[in-house]
Amino acid sequence: MLRGNPIRSSMAYPQLQDPSQETMTDADPDQEAVGGLTLEGDVRLPKRASNLVQLAHVLDIPDPEELIRRFLYDQLHPNSEICGMDMQIQGRPIVSPTMQIHLFRSAAAVYHAPSDLSGVGGMHREHIRATRSWHGGLHRYDCVFVERELEEEGFRALGMAQVRVLFSFEYNNVPYSCPFVKWFETYGDTPCSDTGFWRVKPDFTAHGQRMCSILRAAHHIGVFGTT
């Protein structure tokens, strides 16, 4: 689970499309140039309704209600020295197991990226997928870069995670958007001396780490042996 508001939006919240009405083909682009106003970034989500019981089944975790309570504590107390994962259960907000949840199969991330197609002030759109079956086949859970250490520069300012589920809900009439992710950690504090790339591995201890927003999709290249 993530600390902070992971879905940053720089424009009015868009009209959401019911995934049951979507038609998906092999020609559907994962990336494309976008015209229009230059913005810092935007994430758009097509939705379907669920509840916490169904969410537990989708995430394959025993207690999503408790994770949401911890997430809400961080949202309601952003300057607290104690994160929601460490807060005693009595101090966390109360949510109902029947609270409505909106699940998402994908998010369209839009960010400033000049190109020949969109011009100097153009935007670029790419789709972040989190689905148990892609085109009727195996699952697809995309990886993303997220902002974490705003005072740092380059990759040191970022975290990398695999999106397992995108969902939103309302608490006290306030909407919240949140992904459930699996984190990665880096090998060491510097890039690989041979390739110049940062190397990452699954982080099995990263629970409730703070982040600010999803920036864009990330692509992993496997590290292979020498034989």
Q: Is the pLDDT of residue 18 over 70?
A: no
Average pLDDT taken over every residue of the chain: 73
Tokens 């600010």 sit on residue:
212
* Bridge partners (DSSP) listed for residue 146: 159, 214
Give the separation between CA 221 and CA 197, rounded to whole angstroms.
Answer: 10
Q: Copy the structure tokens of residue 62.
A: 């025993």
Give the separation between CA 100 and CA 94, rounded to whole angstroms.
Answer: 14
Mean pLDDT within 87-107: 83
Mean pLDDT within 192-200: 87
Range list of β-strands (E), 55-137: 100-104, 106-112, 123-131
pLDDT score recorded for residue 141: 92
Mean pLDDT within 112-125: 69
Structure confidence by residue, pLDDT tens digits, 50-77: 788 777 776 777 778 888 888 898 889 8
Q: Among residues of the chain, what percentage have pLDDT more than 70?
A: 66
Structure confidence by residue, pLDDT tens digits, 42-52: 444 445 657 88
pLDDT score recorded for residue 173: 92
* Bridge partners (DSSP) listed for residue 43: 109
The alpha-carbon radius of gyration of the chain (Å, integer) is 18
Range list of β-strands (E), 46-121: 47-51, 100-104, 106-112
Q: Alpha carbon 188 to chain centroid distance?
A: 24
pLDDT score recorded for residue 174: 93
Give the separation between CA 105 and CA 107, rounded to whole angstroms.
Answer: 7
pLDDT score recorded for residue 26: 44
CA atoms within 13 A on the CB side of 187: 10
| 87 and 73 Cβ atoms separated by less than 8 Å | yes
Q: Alpha carbon 158 to chain centroid distance?
A: 13
Contacts (Cβ under 8 Å, ≥6 apart) of 131: 105, 106, 139, 140, 141
Long-range contact list for 199-202, CB < 8 A, 24+ apart?
Answer: 199/223, 200/160
Write down the pTM of the prediction. Answer: 0.69
